[in-house]
Amino acid sequence: MSRGNQRFCNLMFDGASSGNPGPAGAGAVLYDEDWCLLYRFREGLGYQTNNAAEYRALILGLNQAIYKGYRNISVHGDSLLVVNQFLGIWKINNPRLRNLCDEALELADNFHSLQIQHIPRECNTEADAQANRAIYLRDGQVEEDRYI
């Protein structure tokens, strides 16, 4: 669970919107370095686009990882848009998404190391399930399941 003296985790994130825009939710799942489940998080987002929900899921996961004391993180998400915008590969034309990306980048500064990569949707089922559950939560309501 640590690299050197620094705690390490894997983060899976996903956002969901019932309609685009529509009722939305964010899901994030933290695993240890051996991919043992540590925590599941979900947050109700109110009425959002799917892309905004994806960013909010990344932000949820980063915030929770920081709060739980992790300082080295490997991030995995199925949103090619979010991953490539976060990495600076793709431009961000939407001001709302620019603000969300800036917030995620600011959170990233709290980590000693951070890697982010795009994964296929079929590899992100747990975070997807949390995001879909979160659609039914009130805006800003966060739920957590702990496995350690």
pLDDT digits (tens, 9 = 90+) for 23-44: 999 999 999 999 999 999 999 9
Q: 2-146 — its CATH code?
A: 3.30.420.10
- What are the structure tokens assigned to 71, written together? 């300082």
Whether a cis peptide bond, with omega within 30° of 0, leads into 21 is yes
pTM exceeds cut of 0.85: yes
- Report d(CA 138, CA 117) in Å as an integer: 30
DSSP 138: P
Q: Which pLDDT score, from 0 to 100, does residue 148 have?
A: 85
List the chain domain ranges.
2-146
